[in-house]
Amino acid sequence: MKAFSRMTFGEAAFQVIAVVTVTLLCISTLYPFIHVLSVSLSSPAEAIRPGIHLYPKAFTMAAYEQAVKLQGIWVGFGNTIYRTLVGTFLSVFVMSLGAYALSKKHLPHRSFITMAVIVTMFFSGGLIPTFLLIKEIGLYDTRWALIIPGLFNTFYMLIMRNFFMSIPSELEESVKIDGANDLRILFQLVLPLSKPILATISLWIAVYHWNEWFNGLIYIQDQSKIVLQIYLRRLIVENSDADVQLLMQQAAGDSIPIVPETIKAAVLMIGTIPLLLVFPFIQKHFVKGIMLGSLKG
């Protein structure tokens, strides 16, 4: 009896420690977002005051009203949405073609092609040779440079292939007898049966495109083609956007209550909110994907 009560005490203590640790972790995860959101909605005097910001003080939307005047945000949004939509569609399209072909056991040289594809996961030509290649073939400073270099993701394609292989071949045989060729089988039978995996992989690729910034940095010069992440980087990390300076001067003239801190916070929020909004709905697809990936690999 004594042992029993000591055990439950131990368990209770364990629970308390676990709950406290996890709560602290959640606070530390959420706090930076709450901080920046609060700053973006506070008056300049409150915004630059050092300390914890849990809610907007001297609430004002002025920073947002001014931030939306920054051309770069909208150019960035436009290009990011473009590459996300076009890039995701094209990637899923060509990857499902490839994955289907590689899923067929009777494909000649199947294991050789599969191996040639897989080994690319483990080496690369390096930054400079890749950069020179993109220049050489004329993709430099075009929106295609944001889409084509990442068109195939070997890992995702293998997951797709494994999924296609798990579809019972009797189903395909029955359509084949009716004279359907591989293209029709893929589009009319296999892809409709693979909607869950296609949804998951589309989301992975879409989030990749939304967040991708390095190709946007090295391949894009033309200011009308910059992506959102690059604009955010320039504004917040590099601290070097001429438009913001201009905005500050105008605001000072019109005595609009903004400071660089509130503008930056507002831009950061504008750039992050779309993902924060979809995050609760897409995270479970990502978790599912981890499980799929860990089945093999």
Minimum CB distance to other proteins, residue 93 (Å): 8
Q: Which is nearer to other proteins, 104 or 256 (CB)?
A: 104
> 64 and 266 in contact (C-beta within 8 Å)?
yes
| CB neighbour list of residue 260: distance below 8 Å, 6 or more residues apart | 244, 248
- Token representation of residue 131: 């950069």
CA triplet 41, 46, 52: central angle to 5 degrees?
A: 85
Of 128 and 242, CB closest to other proteins? 128
Q: Two tokens at 116? A: 């040639």
To the nearest whole angstrom, how small is the minimum distance from the Cβ of residue 86 to other proteins?
15
CB of 258 to other proteins, least distance (A): 15
Token output for 154: 């070997």
The residue (of 29 and 255) whose beta carbon lies closer to other proteins is 29
Sign of CA dihedral 144, 145, 151, 156: negative
> Which is nearest to 93 in space by CA: 182, 200, 187?
187
CA distance 77 to 224: 11
Q: Please, what is the minimum distance in Å from the beta carbon of residue 129 to other proteins?
A: 3
What is the Cα 45 distance to its own chain's centre?
35
Q: To the nearest whole angstrom, how small is the minimum distance from the Cβ of residue 3 to other proteins?
A: 6
Task: Write down the least CB distance from residue 208 to other proteins, Å.
Answer: 10
- When the beta carbons of 85 and 118 are compared against other proteins, the nearer one is 118
CB 254, min distance to other proteins, A: 25
Q: Between 62 and 212, whose beta carbon lies closer to other proteins?
A: 212
In 49-187, alpha helices (H): 62-67, 71-103, 110-118, 127-136, 144-147, 154-165, 169-177, 182-185
Q: Is 183 or 252 the residue whose CB approaches other proteins more closely?
A: 183
Which CB, 28 or 255, lies closer to other proteins? 28
190-200 CB burial, b ≥16 within 10 A, e <16: bbeebeebbeb
Q: What are the CA-CA distances from residue 89 to residues 36, 86, 111, 209, 232 (Å)? A: 34, 5, 27, 11, 25
